[in-house]
Structures are given as structure tokens and as C-alpha cells.
Amino acid sequence: MTYQGLIHRYGRYLELPSHTKNISLLEGNTPLIPMPRLSKEFGCELSVKFEGLNPSGSFKDRGMTAAVSEAVGRGVQTVICASTGNTAASAAAYASRAGLRAIVLIPEGKVAAGKLAGAITYGAEVIQVQGSFDDALTLVVEITQKTPIVLVNSINPFRIEGQKTAAFEICDDLGCAPDWLCLPVGNAGNITSYWAGFKQYQKGLPRVLGVQAAGAAPLVLGHPVDKPETIATAIRIGKPARGEQALEAAQQSNGKIIAVTDAEILSAQRILASEGVWVEPASAAGLAGLMAESGSRSAKHEARDKKVVVVCTGHGMKDPSIITESFQPPKIIPANYEALIGLIEK
């Protein structure tokens, strides 16, 4: 049978009310891409769960199909979220599909161009807040307590239900859970969802390596960060809504939550791209964490000879600013053959 989206495929494992009306863009079913060269270098069996291939370009679509389907099924007319960009684009996409009004609050000037463009194109009302993601989240929580507008951040339990499906897919592809799961941690909804998903699916449990950016690492520091800062703007979050659950997932799985520098994130992004997978900076944090844990790319480490899944949460096209930050700009030549051959034979 042709693929009909996540609620159709995994609905029986998801706690969704009976009024739920399936709104799907055929999200999920993303590839688990083997990485033979990286596997050899790390001495483990490494694959990438490439969530950038979801309809709006990030893993958020898994949770959004569930949250919007539930909301529309009970007659909701407007949804709202705070976002570092991907939730905004995803909420906008699913709201437009369902015929709902979407309002998204983003931190002023700190959202990657591809995400902002998506949210605007799908037709959301985009509002920039003079503050951080955390300030924007406080605002949307307040407004949804005082009005009938529905919150579609991952505080919404149906977001977590939908996002569990990534763990199910990995187990279905591998035949069991991997030994290690490495992923970025921002507001901590995704790590919470994966851990709930693996526990529920009963195909084994991975050790979970959650990775924050050093400038936005409240779960590593043990306290909120007032002014989070990182090039990985998707995870520029100082007060994660599901922080407790993230720490629990790390502890229960015998894993850990660590921080990596922006330089390590950009280096991991280049390494993934060198084997054909282009992800946005935050999405490279999982690999950056694995590399930091390994000490060096070839050293003996805990993941050695193990099945390791690195979750790459969003597509590289989301954040084109990286051209100026991390890569050399392309050379310019006059439009003639001599100039071209001179350059490529150099």
C-alpha cells in the first residue's frame, strides 16, 4: 500500500483522542542513511536518520501532524507557537493544510532565512519578539491560557506522541534499537519523544547522547542560561521546557548530555556533507557530540563496534547563512574557456 503518513502508519501506538482528524503531508518515513566512510573512521556502524527530508524540512512535522490533527478535530481555529524557526515553518505548513490560522513568535533577527521564508510562504502570521526563544515561549504559554488559541510547542503532549514515531521507524529499519542514539537538544521535546518511543516499542533501548551548544547548555550547566548564544540558532535555548525529562532520558538510558562548541558543530556539519548529507548546524550537533566523546575520530571509545544512529533534525537548506560563516565563497571568472581551464588545472 502506498504510504499514507505517520498517523496512518503508527496511530495505534499514539495516544490521540478519538476526535482527532488526520491532517497529513505524508511526513515521516525518512531514510536511515548508512555512512560507510564515517563508520570506518569511528569504528562503529554509523547511520544518519535524516529528518531534513520531512515535508517542511525538519523533524517537527512528526509532532505537528499529531498536534494539528488533534486541534482541528475539536474545532480549534487558531494555533500558536514560539520558535527558533523549524517549529514555526512546520506549524505554518500543517495549519495551512488544515485551514487554520497560524501565529508564530520568533526571536528577532535570530531565525535562519530558510525557516522564516517557509513560515511566511505557508501563510503564517510571523511576529518577531525583542527577546529570546524562551521569552517568546513565555508569551505564547500566557496567551493560550487566556484565549482559545492552542499551543503547538512541544509542551503540547500530542507533539511528543507524534515525535515518538522516529524511534519506531529506527527500530523497524534496524530490526532493533541502536546501541547509541546521538541528537541535538534544545527545548528537549525530541529527546523526550525518542526515549518514550523506544520504551514503548520494546525493541531494546539505546544509550542516549543529548548534545547542546556550549553557549546554550542549561542542562549541562545545571541552571537556565539568560542570554543563550550559538551559531546553531535552532537550539539557541536557555530554559528548555522539557529539561527534566531530557535529564531523565539521559540518566535512565545510561547516556549523557554534553555540550559542544560552535567550531565542533561546524566541523561536524562539514564532515556529514563530505559524505553527501547536508544538514543545518544544529543538526550536526549529534555527530559533534559523538566526536567529542570519542576523543579523536579514530580513538577507542564507548560507541566502538556499536550500532550508532545520529539524528540529523533539519535540512541544510534551512540555513544558507552558513556560506559566509563556514565555507569559502565561490571564485569568480570572466566568461571564457581560458579562464575556466586556468582555474581548474591550477
Shortest Å, Cβ 306 to ligand F0G: 23
- C-alpha 149: how far from its chain's center? 25
Within 298-317, the residues that bind ligand F0G by CB under 6 A are: 313-314
- Using CB under 6 A as the binding rule, whether residue 280 contacts ligand F0G is answered as yes
Phi and psi at residue 78, in whole multiples of 5°? -135, 135
CA distance 111 to 125: 15
What one-letter code names the amino acid at 312?
C
Residue closer to ligand F0G (CB basis): 45 or 181: 181
Shortest Å, Cβ 292 to ligand F0G: 17
- Using CB under 6 A as the binding rule, whether residue 294 contacts ligand F0G is answered as no
Using CB under 6 A, which of 65, 83, 132, 245 touches ligand F0G?
83
Whether the CB-CB separation of 69 and 34 falls below 8 Å is answered with no
Shortest Å, Cβ 4 to ligand F0G: 25
Enumerate residues 6+ apart whose C-beta is below 8 A from 52: 58, 278, 279, 280, 283, 312, 313, 314, 315, 316, 317, 318
Look at residues 240, 165, 239, 155 and name the one whose alpha carbon lies nearest to residue 196: 165
- Using CB under 6 A as the binding rule, whether residue 85 contacts ligand F0G is answered as yes
Shortest Å, Cβ 276 to ligand F0G: 19
Residue range at the interface with ligand F0G (CB under 6 A); choices 79-87, 165-173, 220-228, 262-270: 79-87
- Using CB under 6 A as the binding rule, whether residue 65 contacts ligand F0G is answered as no
Shortest Å, Cβ 119 to ligand F0G: 10
Residue range at the interface with ligand F0G (CB under 6 A); choices 9-17, 70-78, 85-93, 139-147: 85-93
- Using CB under 6 A as the binding rule, whether residue 283 contacts ligand F0G is answered as yes
Within 152-191, the residues that bind ligand F0G by CB under 6 A are: 154, 184-191
- Using CB under 6 A as the binding rule, whether residue 220 contacts ligand F0G is answered as no
Q: Provide, for the chain, the percentages of residues in helix, strand and coil under a 3-state DSSP scheme, each rounded to the nearest 5.
A: 45, 15, 40
Q: What is the 3-state secondary structure (H, E, C) of 42-97?
A: HCCEEEEEEHHHCCCCECHHHHHHHHHHHHHHCCCCEEEEECCCHHHHHHHHHHHH
Look at residues 286, 52, 315, 56 and name the one whose alpha carbon lies nearest to residue 178: 286
- Applying CB under 6 A, which residues contact ligand F0G? 58, 60, 83-87, 154, 184-191, 234-235, 280, 282-283, 313-314
